[in-house]
Amino acid sequence: MIVLGSANMDIVARAEHAPAAGETVLGRDYALYPGGKGANQAVAARRAGAAITFIGSLGQDAYGEALLHALTAEAIDCGATIRTATPTGIAIITVEAGGENRIIVIPGANHDLTADRLPPTMPPATILLTQLEIPIPTVLAAAARVRATGGTTILNASPIAGIDAATSTRLCAAADILLVNETEAAALLGLPRLNDTAGAAARLATGRRAAVITLGADGVAWASEQGTFALKRHDVPVVDTTGCGDAFAGGFAGALERGATLADAVAFGNAAGALAATKPGAQPAMPTHAEINALLST
């Protein structure tokens, strides 16, 4: 399975509440964690039991070295990851006492991952999991190459803000499985908000294998040619919601790579996302296959 996407160093500050405009807040502590949607999802899928090749772009700096080390320590193949002179991407994250977060991403070297730097060929019948923190032409080129070899593209259409309607249409057309949260689903459908998640999932699934909408505290809804379905969230103690969506994506894709049905993959991803909220950080919080199965068994 291939994960194509971003890798960032997350600079996480914890405070009782996030500052309002013009306000200074005294924080409790801070920490550095490996992050980035692509790298997070690669780690999540690997811990979920999938064999992973990660394609990304890192700077030739200390953050880049640390991120590469974190990925290879998970037994993730990084042979196709490039190194550039641009500084490694970072994310500045504020986590409030209740676990909610606010994130500023500075892409850095992630924007150097252009389509001409992709591997010239993709393995046959592979699964590609990708997101939108790298150049969109790269996402589209990779999806086209995977489709040409009979593979499956799972597009986590995040972040979607600022992407025009024509580009959104091209991205959706490239996705065999579309994975979004409520805000992203509403944006793709041209709605101010979602009032009917089941109907939204059905609309987004039209013309593709499936669409999955993660709903945070309300669980997850998904649709395929078999119908529209929903699962409630797992009741777990919330420490930090950073990376929960990435845990879902990686767990979901990893389960599909192992041959799970769509319904079982959604349930596996739902449990993975819940468990990620119980620990601080993004990549460090990604649960293992055994932890996910233990939660599912309850």
Catalytic site positions: 246
> Which among 4, 49, 35, 36 is positioned nearest to 254, based on CA atoms?
49
8 A C-beta contact, residue 155 and residue 171 = yes
Q: Where are the alpha helices (DSSP H) in the chain?
A: 37-47, 62-73, 136-148, 165-174, 182-189, 197-205, 244-257, 262-276, 289-297
Query: In degrees, to the nearest 5, what angle opens at C-alpha 277 toward C-alphas 271 and 282?
Result: 105
CB neighbours of 284 closer than 8 A, spacing ≥ 6? 33, 34
Query: Distances from the Cα of 56 to the Cαs of 143, 184, 195, 209, in angstroms?
Result: 15, 23, 36, 26
